[in-house]
Every structure is written in C-alpha cells, then in structure tokens.
Amino acid sequence: MFGVSYKMKLLSLNQSKPLLLKGRPFKLPNISKIRFNISKVIDSQHLMEPRSKRGVINLYNMISCATGCRPLIYKGYGCYCGFLGSGYPVDGIDRCCQLHDSCYGWAQCTIPFMDYVLPYFWQCIYDQPYCAIDHDIFGGPDSCASKLCECDRQLSLCLQQYPCPQVRPFCTSSPFRFFQNAIMMFV
C-alpha cells in the first residue's frame, strides 16, 4: 500500500505555519539548539523512505528520531505524558505532553480515537522530523492526518530540548493520574 515510490513533498522549517493553541503560538525550541549528528545517518536510501505507519507507531518513531530516547520512557511520565492526562505539569517534559494533548484537541478529528490510529507520512532527516504536505488517501494539508503529524512533530521538537529522562516523576496534583503513574511502575 505504501512504499518508497510514493512521491513526498517536505515542509521546510521556513514554510510551516505556526501552530496556535488557545489563540497563542505553540513555542518551538530555539533553532540554534537543534542537534546535527551526521554519524546517525544510515544511508541516503533510508532518508528517502516515507514513514507511513499507524498513529501511535508514528509518534513512537518520531520521538525516537528527534530525541534519540527510548519513547516508552515518556509513557506515564508526570501528569500528561501517556493517556488521559490531567493535573499540573511536573516539569518541562510534562508541559510538552500537555501541549501535545491540547494540540490533538485542536486537530478536531471527527472520529473518536482516530488520532491514535490514523496514519500520516513523514521523514526523519538528520534527527529532525518533517511532515509531508500530502497524505495521499488520508488527506491534504488541512486534513486530520496533516494536523496530527504536525502535533506529533511539535511534541518531538519540544522533547528534543531535554535530556532523556532516567525516571518517571509522579503526578501529585491529580489523584486519578497518581494512581495511573503507580500502575506504570509495574509495566
């Protein structure tokens, strides 16, 4: 269904429109802090393969691309990383996840839970995720697929500002989330 022959147009950092959350711009990391590590480039063929898996898998791979961290370390992190976020963010990483939750709300995909399964096209180039302009049968630039890709890209770039977490801080401001964090200790 998807393959290397798919012609993909990339958004450059200068062409992407600012993402607004609650009327305010979603703050991008300082462009001067973006990492460039040529040693991580496998080969040019790898760079040209569009990523087009299901939503959660795309998010996993995009976080891995931008941060170099194991993405599952963020599952159950603080008050917002993972499912059903609530409370007050415990730190900057948790704030990134809170903004990501808000971004998914802004995307307004009409089918419930579509944000977890809808595929989109993107590429990882020099530790930077780029969303495609056209998502084939999943829609064009204003489609749900495009918006979800941009939300995941913004989260990945936000997380890129922080070192890989070694522990998952607990959320103490939400009893429900505190219980969820406690369960995550054993998973």
State the binding site for Ca(2+): 80, 82, 101
Catalytic residue among 115, 127, 136, 152: 152
Which H or E run contains 180?
A: helix 175-184
Catalytic residue flag (residue 152): yes
Catalytic residue flag (residue 46): no
Annotated binding site: 80, 82, 101
CA distance to 4, 14, 58, 127, per residue, from 114 (Å): 25, 29, 13, 27
- Report DSSP letters for 117-140, one per residue: T----EEEETTEEEEBS--GGG-S
Catalytic residue among 100, 115, 135, 136: 100
68 with 61: CB under 8 angstroms? no
Q: Chain-centre distance of CA 30, in angstroms?
A: 17
Q: Give catalytic residue positions.
A: 100, 152
